[in-house]
Amino acid sequence: MSQQNRASAPWHKSSYSSGAHNCVEVSEGSLTGMRDTQNRDQGTLTFDSAEWHAFLGSAKG
């Protein structure tokens, strides 16, 4: 995810993250980024819209 896309899509904590130090943050836009809240400097998983919706569908079961 480019710096430009990150700036236009603010990061927010996932509503499914619990408070037990296992949180992820999501930045939703034309590309969706996902990162570990405690290890932000260790990279970001990036998904296009179709991939993100497929991931959410699989995660929800």
Tens of pLDDT, residues 19-57: 666 788 889 888 999 998 888 899 999 999 899 899 889
Q: How confident is the model at residue 1 (pLDDT cuts 50, 70, 90)?
A: very low
Which residues contact residue 8 at a Cβ distance below 8 angstroms, ignoring those fewer than 6 apart?
29
More confident site: 39 or 15: 39
pLDDT score, position 7: 42
Side by side, the strands of the sheet bearing 31-36 are: 12-13, 24-27, 31-36, 45-48
What pLDDT is recorded for position 19?
65
Look up tokens 């999501």; give the residue.
26
Strands 24-27 vs 31-36: parallel, antiparallel or unpaired: antiparallel
User: Is the distance from CB of 57 to CB of 49 less than 8 angstroms?
Assistant: no
Tell me which of 59 and 22 has the higher pLDDT: 59
38: DSSP letter: G
* Domain range annotation of the chain: 3-60
